[in-house]
Amino acid sequence: MRNIAEIYKREARFYFTTPVAYVVIVIFAAVFGFLYFRNLTYYSQLSYQMMQNQYPQRIDLILGVFAPLFSSNSIIFLLVIPPLSMRLFAEEKKSGTIELLFTYPVKDIHVVIGKWLAAITILLVMLILTLPAPFLAFKFAGSSEWGPVLSGYLGMFLMGVSFLSLGVLISAVSENQIVAIIVSYGALLGFWFLGWAVDPNSPKKIGNVLNELSVIKHLDNFIRGVIDTKDIAYYVLFIFVTVFLTTRVLESKRWRG
């Protein structure tokens, strides 16, 4: 644990002493805030029109504001998470410090987890900055449906950690940051489009498999307020496999020298 803590502090210090974390956080907060304001404005206008027409049905705040917001947030993560993960190992190799790191009495799994946790810290900061949004919306609407909102945040967190884990793996196999970020975007888009790539004429089993492998499909239930163990298991397994493969990549580089 001490080794993990040292690696974590080293990486976290880099994030917060360079513009990387601040640029990513500001971009994420700005785009999230814009989408939230747009959805809330549309919701308020529609609510006012229905009140004027004395329409008895109440507009669902979750469906009107947060469901599309959480869905759009997956696109924001796709854009901002690869820059967080691209340097974790690629920069070490480019600068030559990866060889120095291998001389330390630190296990590869400790290095991977320490760097991974530092990147997750930035992800948590990004999500925490959005927490005033539901409080403001509930105060405006005079209701508080926290279940679907908390479920949506859990889904966003699991998806974000999955994106980061894949980015860390790609950074470990890449030789520079440019290659790492380009390959990360390509890989994430690949997992994104798996569910859309199903040929209507293909066998149903193949379509089901591709749908289950799509990283975005498993966010849908969280957005609807449904916490399904199948979706949690998918993200946990995705994270475990990518972290395990990252460790194996480092071990192979250590033995090859």
Q: Does the pLDDT value for residue 36 go beyond 60?
A: yes
Which stretch of 50-54, 65-69, 77-81, 241-245 has the lowest confidence by average pLDDT? 50-54
Which stretch of 34-43, 129-138, 142-151, 200-209 has the lowest confidence by average pLDDT? 200-209
Task: Give the pLDDT confidence score for residue 11 in this predicted structure.
Answer: 84
Distance linking the first and last C-alpha atoms of the chain? 26
Q: Does the pLDDT value for residue 94 go beyond 80?
A: no
> pLDDT tens, 102-117?
666 678 788 888 888 9
Q: Does the pLDDT value for residue 233 go beyond 80?
A: yes
213: number of Cβ within 10 Å: 15
3-state secondary structure the chain: CHHHHHHHHHHHHHHHHCHHHHHHHHHHHHHHHHHHHHHHHHHHHHHHHHHHCCCCCCCCHHHHHHHHHHHHHHHHHHHHHHHHHCHHHHHHHHHCHHHHHHHCCCCHHHHHHHHHHHHHHHHHHHHHCCCHHHHHHHHHHCCCCHHHHHHHHHHHHHHHHHHHHHHHHHHHHCCCHHHHHHHHHHHHHHHHHHHHCCCCCCCHHHHHHHHHHCCCHHHHHHHCCCCCHHHHHHHHHHHHHHHHHHHHHHHHHHHHC
Task: Give the pLDDT confidence score for residue 141 in this predicted structure.
Answer: 66
Task: Give the pLDDT confidence score for residue 159 in this predicted structure.
Answer: 93
Domain definitions of the chain by residue range: 2-256
Task: Give the pLDDT confidence score for residue 138 in this predicted structure.
Answer: 82
Task: Give the pLDDT confidence score for residue 104 in this predicted structure.
Answer: 65
The stretch 5-23 carries a mean pLDDT of: 85
> pLDDT tens, 191-229?
877 766 555 555 556 656 666 777 788 888 898 888 889
Between 110 and 30, whose confidence is greater? 30
pLDDT band at 83 (very low <50, low <70, confident <90, very high): confident
pLDDT band at 101 (very low <50, low <70, confident <90, very high): low
What is the per-residue burial (b if ≥16 Cβ within 10 Å, else e) of 16-48? eeeebbeebbeebeebbeebbeebbeebbeebe
